[in-house]
Structure 1
Amino acid sequence: MHKKILIPVALDHAPLVARKIEAARHMLAPGGTITLLTVLEQIGGFVAEFVTVKPENHLSAKVLEKLNEAAAGAPDIDCKVISGKPGVQITKFAKDAGVDLIIVGSHSPGQEDYHLGSTASRVVRRAHCAVYVLR
């Protein structure tokens, strides 16, 4: 059983969130917590000069709202939005927060059956704790 479970949530994999939470509930120790985390990549400098509004601030609020909806008011689920490279920031966040299990999503079985997604692959390689890959 795990006391602190981290569930990274990619914007394009939102339908997996409920399955990840369900899996986490089966592995969560009594009194444990789950954190839903989205990492927003920063806009490159060559694009940023053409943008007049700071999109990460606007997008962060919307993403946090979606994460809170997915958490459905559960008292043991916390929601966070940070920025950076997901494969790096997920593992850094997990280590800093004392997470003992990360649940990541990967490609569905099929043609890419033998490959993890690039972020899932980076998390598996860099994590200091257990990683559960959900397909």
Structure 2
Amino acid sequence: MSYSTILVPVAPGHGDEAGRAMEVARSLLSPDGSIAVVSVLEELPRYLTAEVYALEPVVEESQEAVAEELVSEFSAPDVQIVTRRGHATRTILGLAKECGHDCIVIASAQPGWEHFLLGSTAAGVVRHAHCSVHVVRTRDTTGAS
């Protein structure tokens, strides 16, 4: 099976899992298809409202740095780079629906008991996506068991 528009969520500061997810996405992509790589920077909690305004330039710089990193690593004619701010799961699902992606390829580390089978973002995407989701299993490098 091949897909025409694949969304690949990549965590800021990603490791090898992003490359593996892109390999899987490429293997699933139709010849005339496209891939969107998205990285979501989590929003700061609302109780930090005063601090948020002071941190806005830092957040903007961080978002730009993430975008530059993604462009340097994944730039290709059939790849679009997207950075967003917000809740990771909701933002990924919203972007997939908004842009009509027919597949999401997401990496998920082998988690501890708190999420049992999938990481929390991957689990939320799998549960609520309107399209196919391929989960690329990676090793947990945090040492959690």
TM-score above 0.5, yes or no: yes
Cα displacement string for residues 75-118 of structure 1 (whole angstroms, at most 9, x for unaligned residues):
10110001111111101100110100101111238x65942000
Q: TM-score, normalised by structure 2?
A: 0.84
In structure 1, the partner of 2:30 is: 29
In structure 2, the partner of 1:49 is: 50
In structure 2, the partner of 1:84 is: 86
Query: Which structure 2 segments of 5+ residues have no match?
Result: 138-145
Q: 2:15 is paired with a residue of what secondary structure?
A: helix
Matches of 2:8 and 2:34, distance apart in 1: 11
Cα displacement string for residues 8-31 of structure 1 (whole angstroms, at most 9, x for unaligned residues):
001253321111111111110011
Q: TM-score, normalised by structure 1?
A: 0.90
Query: Which structure 1 segments of 5+ residues have no match?
Result: none
Q: Is the 8 A contact 2:110 2:118 kept in 1?
A: no
Matches of 1:80 and 1:134, distance apart in 2: 20
Matches of 2:15 and 2:69, distance apart in 1: 9
Matches of 2:44 and 2:135, distance apart in 1: 28
